[in-house]
Amino acid sequence: MDPTKTNERSKTPKEAIRQAATELFAASGYAATGVRAIAAQAGVDPALVIRHFGSKEALFLETMRLEGPFLQIVTGPLDGMGERIVRYVLESGSESMGPIFVHLLRASDSEVVRAHVRNAVEDLYVEPVSRRLEGDEASLRARLVAAQIAGLITTLWVVPDPELTAANPGRLARIYGAAIQNIIDGR
């Protein structure tokens, strides 16, 4: 009569909370996910959630760790890198990295969340790209590439544009990739 999941008896309560939070935040975002709902799904008391993670926001950030094989993209040849970046972003939409970015940006009303995003962008995108770029103002141009990626993610998934999400990925990669390549090559 109750098809919801049973208690994960093989795990410690803290891990059960972390897993429940990961699922619920990923499914419904930050605001729509309550501490009591997380506790219910984990099969624990709501107070335990705060006791183990300090606050709802801290738990949110812990489940929203940005990591991905983006570095591999950047270690490839400079030629065609723009298009490869776009393809990677398009694929990451259904993967782990895309949705995480989406929920983080949507919850960026908090300064703590913004700092989290800032650090992740710096480590994941700006730093590796900056290393690879040649010519003047490599750091500046790397940040503008990151801005282009952020814009694509925003328009595709944060505030989705239906016509863009339905567009042919190959055309997107070709057109937007060329624009990114323009900054990679540096005029």
Q: Which residue ranges make up the site for DNA (CB under 7 A)?
A: 5, 12-14, 33-37, 44-52, 54-57
Nearest residue to 18 (alpha-carbon basis) of 29, 92, 44: 44
Interface pick for a copy of itself out of 68, 108, 127, 138 (rule CB under 8 A): 108
Tokens of 95: 């993967």
DSSP secondary structure of 73-134: HHHS-STTHHHHHHHHHHHTTSSSHHHHHHHHHHTTTSHHHHHHHHHHHIIIIIHHHHHH--
User: Which distant-in-sequence residues (6+ apart) come within 8 Å of 29 by Cβ?
Assistant: 103, 106, 107
Identity of the amino acid at 86: V
The least distance separating DNA from the CB of residue 176, rounded to whole angstroms, comes to 37
- 171 binds, options DNA, a copy of itself, none, Cβ within 5 to 8 A by partner type: a copy of itself
Interface pick for a copy of itself out of 80, 160, 169, 170 (rule CB under 8 A): 160
The least distance separating DNA from the CB of residue 39, rounded to whole angstroms, comes to 8
Report DSSP state, residue 10: T
The least distance separating a copy of itself from the CB of residue 99, rounded to whole angstroms, comes to 13
Taking 3-state DSSP, the helix, strand and coil percentages for the chain, each rounded to the nearest 5, stand at: 70, 0, 30
- 57 binds, options DNA, a copy of itself, none, Cβ within 5 to 8 A by partner type: DNA
With respect to a copy of itself, which residue has the nearer C-beta, 8 or 122? 122
Question: Which residues are near a copy of itself by CB under 8 A?
Answer: 29-32, 105-110, 114, 117-118, 121, 126, 137, 139-141, 143-144, 146-152, 154-156, 158-161, 163-164, 167, 171-172, 175-176, 178-180, 182-183, 186-187
